[in-house]
Amino acid sequence: MAALSDDQLLELQGHLQHAVTSCTERCLYQSAKWAAELLNALPTSDLTHGSDTDVDSPMSDTPPKAAPRKPPTQDAAEAALEARELHKYLLAKTYFDCREFDRCATVFLPQLLPKGPLDPASPESARGATAAKGKARLSTPTTPAVASQSVSHLSQKALFLSLYAKYMAGEKRRDEDSEMILGPQDGGMTVNKELSGISRMLEEYLAERDSKGIQGQGWLEYLYGIVLAKGKNETLAKEWLIKSVNLYPYNWGAWQELSMLLGTYDEVEMLAEQQRLPQNIMSLIFYIYTSQELYQSTEKVHNTLTQVQSLFPTSSFLKTQRALLFYHTKDFEEAERIFSDLLVSDPHRIDSLDHYSNILYVMSARPKLAFLAQVATQTDKFRPETCCVVGNYYSLKSEHEKAVIYFRRALTLDRNSLSAWTLMGHEYVEMKNTHAAIESYRRAVDVNRKDYRAWYGLGQTYEVLEMHSYALFYFQRAAMLRPFDPKMWQAVASCFGKIGKLENGIRAYKRALVAGAYYDAGGGSSFGGEGQLGGGVLDPEVLYQIALLYERLNDREECAAYMELTIAQEEGPDPDEYDGSQGEQMGVGVTPTTSKARMWLARWEFMRGGYQRSMELANELCQDGVEVEDAKALVRDIRARIESEKDAGTKAQVEAVERRFGRKTYLSPKRIHGVEAIPNYDAVLEQCYLPPAYLSSLFFLSTTVVFITYPRLEQFCLIVISLWTLALFLSYLLFLAADWALCTSAADPNCLTDVSSSLFFILLVVAPAILIFVSLKFLEE
């Protein structure tokens, strides 16, 4: 949007001035306040062109170079009617300001509006209906319909004020009939009984003017849209509100009502594409406001807000929208900073302080929340926003009963307070009063179906009651409103898993992984308590849950893959793929979730025989400080399994050699698997090698004793020793050949060690024989 010229700024100022006056004349005070605040946010220096019109200036009596341009006035007939009924209008407006709505309506419409009941649900009518069961109901006689009476003598302003006063009177009686909050008459049982009469009159009045080709001013169309929306005829209400904003774009109340009827962002885009809205600054503000209400904090919305703020740099409303956009993306620090600046610049502004208190509650900023509650209470303790702030303060102190008292007080002041209904539902959940929590959330949904917090709260409450099918429905509604919030999809996936739809649960968890990338730059969840992930890091909890669902599907390979991916999030992705500034934030470190995944993998490797990998994972668990006892037990099991398998392998190996070379052949057990696979090699060595060596030494010793004792047996002893030595030598030589053949065929890196061992035992046998032989010769000489 290009910068506006001075003439365009003057024209905009004139429209806003006219909007303040027109809304005030019709008692639309909230719309008038909004327009007045926006008007004062315009930079005045640009409109005066820097002229010397200060009070102390000698040129102060000189008129400015340009004055705000007034919008075109109504036709002469309307002006004449307004001039003629001025005295009555002033009286009616005075009654309205004094909240005497029925007296205000009867100033211009004496005894004409019917009190046609839309809902005969009062106790008297209920008893009457029971008594007259089986008989046809008779309609209650009422006064003639207003639509049948001629109101052509009234101006549109007078007619609007009268019908609006009657509408407000019906709302007041509806609140009185509702009695206490969450009482038997509270909720849909009581309605505004004046809606039917107002609707019939406006329908015929507007149809008659349309048939005559008389264009309206936009105010009666706005009122008709409100009445239709209250009667749940939202499609027709939307059409009349669009017509109203086209006839008079600066009625902010009409834009707000239209925004309430738009349920998705696609509807907003469709209105923009079809160009059904006026092409002016109000359409841009409407786009910003509706996008914020639909939690669409996109770059396009922020850019549009920046452009509009360039025209209204000091607008508190636009700053609030910016803060709420940051709040929806969970950038609580930035949102809190904007609200703090607003509180400093305008400490008596109560609007949207309930949202500010929500931010402080999530941030656990108790001192700031206490200060905010004190400021709001000193300004106006009987505002719904003030009661919500105080209720949040008591909730943060875990005084849930007091918090409920203040939320109920807020609802007594305004039964359409969305924040009060939702927050009271949260408190009832904390108090384990699930039925009251469900009713509070339902009322919040009735007030605004776009509030994902109420839908999510309903899902949580039904989940506590273990009614997972109901919880799934409400979680899906919340996920539809917040498609980029991973917490919504995690809740949906959890319910799918609990009702047995595992494939759907896996898809929902994967959707949560995709949605998690949307909030990488943000903070925790809207409900608080969730940590912040760095760029490129997936949520390990989601990955772990996906793995568990695959395990329930008996797909252990895929389960193991996701468990590995869960562990990989401790260090994050390759730092080379990201900037150095982000490298420090990568990885989530050791968490209970990653430790559980590591334990699962260790047991999985243990089950399929990967003892080395299992031992590594178990040792890492011992170092993590999580699941330490289970990890130690697993280490003991791994060692025991390795020992048992090695013993079994050694026995089978010896038996195989005995079958090949004979039972009396002693073969090295360091075969096939290497030394590492046989920890009790020394024991086997003693069984295989040492007995023949000991036996040979004993034989040689006994032969020497015989030779010394009986010298005549010299030749016999020498022959026996020679034969024994030769047989033993050939036996170990054969063993050496077998050692070498098996070692080379198995490509054992320890083959040289095996061969050297065999050579050592050959020398161990031959050396004593040689020594004894030499000794005998020496003794003989």
Q: What is the pLDDT of residues 271-294, one digit of tens each?
A: 888 888 998 999 999 999 999 999
Taking alpha carbons only, the member of 105, 85, 80, 83 closest to residue 27 is 105
**Distances 263 to 286, 288, 451, 457 between C-alpha atoms, Å:** 14, 15, 10, 19
User: In angstroms, rounded to a whole number, what is the distance separating the alpha carbons of residues 728 and 722?
Assistant: 10
| DSSP annotation of 255 | H
Token digits of residue 502:
């595992």
Show the CA angle centred on residue 207, arms to residues 204 and 213, nearest 5°. 145
pLDDT at residue 755 greater than cutoff 80: no
Please, is 361 exposed, middle or buried when counting C-beta atoms within 10 Å of its C-beta (0-12, 13-18, 19+)? Answer: buried
**Distances 690 to 296, 694, 704, 760 between C-alpha atoms, Å:** 83, 6, 21, 12
Are 491 and 459 in contact, with CB atoms under 8 Å apart? yes
pLDDT at residue 765 greater than cutoff 80: no
User: In angstroms, rounded to a whole number, what is the distance separating the alpha carbons of residues 584 and 421?
Assistant: 42
User: In angstroms, rounded to a whole number, what is the distance separating the alpha carbons of residues 33 and 270?
Assistant: 30
pLDDT at residue 64 greater than cutoff 90: no
User: In angstroms, rounded to a whole number, what is the distance separating the alpha carbons of residues 123 and 336?
Assistant: 49
**Distances 412 to 152, 182, 459 between C-alpha atoms, Å:** 39, 11, 26
Q: In sequence order, what are the residues at sequence separation of 6 or more whose Cβ sits closer than 8 angstroms to the Cβ of residue 630?
A: 599, 621
pLDDT at residue 487 greater than cutoff 80: yes
Report residue 763's pLDDT band, with 50, 70 and 90 as the boundaries. low
Q: Phi/psi of residue 673, each to 5°?
A: -100, -10
Of the segments 24-28, 190-194, 273-277, 637-641, which one has the largest average pLDDT value? 24-28
What's the mean per-residue pLDDT of the chain?
A: 79
User: In angstroms, rounded to a whole number, what is the distance separating the alpha carbons of residues 653 and 669?
Assistant: 7
Looking at per-residue confidence, does 210 or 368 come out higher? 368
pLDDT at residue 720 greater than cutoff 90: no
Angle between helices 418-430 and 434-447 (to 10 degrees): 160
pLDDT of residue 760: 61
Are 598 and 570 in contact, with CB atoms under 8 Å apart? no
pLDDT at residue 664 greater than cutoff 50: no
User: In angstroms, rounded to a whole number, what is the distance separating the alpha carbons of residues 462 and 478?
Assistant: 14
User: In angstroms, rounded to a whole number, what is the distance separating the alpha carbons of residues 429 and 141?
Assistant: 47
User: In angstroms, rounded to a whole number, what is the distance separating the alpha carbons of residues 75 and 636?
Assistant: 96
Across the range 576-590, mean pLDDT stands at 58
pLDDT tens-place string over residues 670-680: 443 343 434 44
Are 460 and 480 in contact, with CB atoms under 8 Å apart? no
Token digits of residue 649:
């392998």
Torsion of CA 685, 687, 689, 695, to 10 degrees: 150
Q: In sequence order, what are the residues at sequence separation of 6 or more whose Cβ sits closer than 8 angstroms to the Cβ of residue 545?
A: 490, 493, 494, 497, 509
pLDDT at residue 51 greater than cutoff 80: no
Are 376 and 353 in contact, with CB atoms under 8 Å apart? yes
pLDDT of residue 209: 87
Across the range 324-348, mean pLDDT stands at 94
Show the CA angle centred on residue 779, arms to residues 776 and 781, nearest 5°. 110
Of the segments 212-216, 514-518, 553-557, which one has the largest average pLDDT value? 553-557
Are 646 and 678 in contact, with CB atoms under 8 Å apart? yes
pLDDT of residue 142: 41
Please, is 269 exposed, middle or buried when counting C-beta atoms within 10 Å of its C-beta (0-12, 13-18, 19+)? Answer: exposed
Is the Cα torsion angle 684, 685, 691, 694 positive or negative in sign? negative
Q: How many helices (H) and strands (E) in the chain?
A: 37, 0
pLDDT at residue 730 greater than cutoff 70: no
% of the chain surpassing 90 pLDDT: 46
pLDDT of residue 213: 83
Which alpha helices (DSSP H) does 569-627 contain, by range?
580-583, 592-607, 611-624
Please, is 233 exposed, middle or buried when counting C-beta atoms within 10 Å of its C-beta (0-12, 13-18, 19+)? Answer: middle
Please, is 524 exposed, middle or buried when counting C-beta atoms within 10 Å of its C-beta (0-12, 13-18, 19+)? Answer: middle
Across the range 707-719, mean pLDDT stands at 65
pLDDT of residue 148: 40
Are 304 and 294 in contact, with CB atoms under 8 Å apart? no
Q: Phi/psi of residue 581, each to 5°?
A: -65, -30
The residue type at 628? V
| DSSP annotation of 532 | P
Report residue 89's pLDDT band, with 50, 70 and 90 as the boundaries. very high
pLDDT of residue 491: 95
Q: Specify the residue for token string 């003030």.
A: 386
Are 596 and 581 in contact, with CB atoms under 8 Å apart? no
pLDDT tens-place string over residues 362-376: 999 999 999 999 999
Q: What share of the chain is helix, strand, coil (3-state, %, to 5)?
A: 70, 0, 30
% of the chain surpassing 70 pLDDT: 69
pLDDT of residue 685: 46
Across the range 130-135, mean pLDDT stands at 40
pLDDT of residue 377: 96
Please, is 728 exposed, middle or buried when counting C-beta atoms within 10 Å of its C-beta (0-12, 13-18, 19+)? Answer: buried
The residue type at 620? E
Across the range 430-435, mean pLDDT stands at 94
pLDDT tens-place string over residues 491-549: 999 999 999 999 999 999 999 998 876 555 444 333 444 444 444 678 899 999 999 99
Token digits of residue 504:
């759907």
Taking alpha carbons only, the member of 226, 754, 181, 622 closest to residue 439 is 181
Are 464 and 495 in contact, with CB atoms under 8 Å apart? no
pLDDT of residue 347: 93
Please tell me whether residue 690 adopts helix, strand or coil conformation: helix
User: In angstroms, rounded to a whole number, what is the distance separating the alpha carbons of residues 389 and 333?
Assistant: 18
pLDDT at residue 125 greater than cutoff 60: no
User: In angstroms, rounded to a whole number, what is the distance separating the alpha carbons of residues 718 and 704?
Assistant: 10
User: In angstroms, rounded to a whole number, what is the distance separating the alpha carbons of residues 596 and 599?
Assistant: 5
Q: Which string of DSSP letters, residue by residue, matches 318-341? A: HHHHHHHHHHHTT-HHHHHHHHHH
